[in-house]
Amino acid sequence: MTLLPKSSSYESMAEPFHCDFRDRLFIGHLANHMLNAADFHSTERGYGMRYLRSIGKTWVLSRLSVEVGEMPTAGSSFSVETWVESAMRSFTHRNFAIRAADGGHVYGYGRSIWAMIDTGTRQPADILAVHGGLINEYADPERPCPIKPFRRVKFSSRLVAVLDVQTGYSDVDLNGHVNSVKYIEHLLDAIPIDFYRSHRISRLDIAYTTECHGGDLLRIYKEELLPTDFGLSLRRQTADGNETEACYARLAFVADV
C-alpha cells in the first residue's frame, strides 16, 4: 500500500453568512473547517469516521485549541493544513495550520486531541489496532506547531451564570449529540456583543467533557480571568435540579478598535 504525504491541505472560502459584524470569519466556522479537514485527512488515510463506524468505533473530539493572529474576511479563500503529531493507545494529537490561499500568509494554528471509542460500550478503543497501527506511519512528532498546548481553566468562586440556552433540532448531529461547533457558538454568545466591537478573539481552548442531547437546557457560567481573558463553563441542567459540565473553554481577546 502506497503511503500518502503526512499532511494535507484543504481549501475553503469565508462565506458572507459565516462572518461576523466586522466581516471576519466566526471562529466556530473556522473550527468547522478544521474538523472537516481532520475528517478528510483521516478518511483519505484509511481511518476516517465512516470506516470506523463500520467496525463499531468512532473518533470523539476531546480538546481543541485555536490561536489566530487575524481571521479571513468575507469572500477570501484560505487553506487548512492538518497532520497527526502522535498517536497513543486511545488518544491522538492532531495539529492544524490556517493560511491564506496563496500559501504564504499564516492566519493561525490549531491543536486538537481526539479519543477513539467503541460505539457500543462508549469505552476507549485501541487506535493502534486499526489497520495494524497504520496511523503511526503518518505521525510526525518532529514537526513543530508553534502554539502552546491546550490551556486548562481553574474556576474560582467568581464564576457566575450568564446565559441559558434551550437546545433544539439545529444543535444536534448524526450521533444525536449537540455538535462541537454549536457549543462554540453558544459560548461566544455568553460574551456581550458590545465587547466584540472593540476586541477580537486571539485564542480559544475548549474541552469537551460529557455529551448533551437536543432538548437539553444548558446554562453558561463565566469568570473573568483577565480583563480580556474569560473562562466559560457550559453545564447541562438535569431534571432533579443538578448540573453536569458538558464543556469548558477559555476565550482570550486582544483590543482591536
Q: For a copy of itself, which residue of 1, 174, 239, 255 counts as binding (CB under 8 A)? A: 174
Q: For a copy of itself, which residue of 20, 85, 205, 223 counts as binding (CB under 8 A)? A: 20
Binding range to a copy of itself, per CB under 8 A, among 79-87, 92-100, 123-131, 167-175: 167-175
Q: For a copy of itself, which residue of 9, 14, 25, 28 counts as binding (CB under 8 A)? A: 28
Shortest distance, position 234 Cβ to a copy of itself, whole Å: 14
The yes or no reply on residue 82 touching a copy of itself (CB under 8 A) is no
Site string for a copy of itself, 210-229 (x = CB under 8 A): ----xx--------------
The yes or no reply on residue 110 touching a copy of itself (CB under 8 A) is no
Q: Which CB, 15 or 224, lies closer to a copy of itself?
A: 15
Binding range to a copy of itself, per CB under 8 A, among 29-37, 82-90, 224-232, 243-251: 29-37
Give the interface size with a copy of itself as a residue count (CB under 8 A). Answer: 43
CA distance 41 to 57: 17
Q: Which amino acid is at 128?
A: L
Helix (H, G, I), strand (E, B) or coil at 31: helix
Contacts of a copy of itself in 116-155 (CB under 8 A): none
Q: For a copy of itself, which residue of 193, 198, 209, 254 counts as binding (CB under 8 A)? A: 193
Strand partners, 115: 60, 91
CA distance 94 to 110: 8
Stated as kind and residue range, the H or E segment containing 28 is helix 27-44
Phi/psi for 5 (5° steps) reads -60, 160
Q: For a copy of itself, which residue of 68, 87, 97, 191 counts as binding (CB under 8 A)? A: 191
Shortest distance, position 35 Cβ to a copy of itself, whole Å: 7
Q: Is 21 left (phi over 0), alpha (psi -120 to 50) or beta?
A: alpha
DSSP letters spanning 175-190: TSBBPHHHHHHHHHTT
Can you read off the three cell numbers belonging to residue 92? Answer: 491522538
The yes or no reply on residue 69 touching a copy of itself (CB under 8 A) is no
Q: How many H-runs (helices) and E-runs (strands) does the chain carry?
A: 5, 10
Burial category of 35 from C-beta neighbours within 10 Å (exposed 0-12, middle 13-18, buried 19 and up): buried
Of the candidates 209, 202, 207, which has an alpha carbon nearest to the alpha carbon of residue 229?
202
The yes or no reply on residue 35 touching a copy of itself (CB under 8 A) is yes
Q: Which residues bind a copy of itself (CB under 8 A)?
A: 15-17, 19-23, 26, 28, 32, 35-36, 39, 49-50, 74-75, 163, 166, 168-176, 179-181, 185-186, 188-193, 196, 214-215
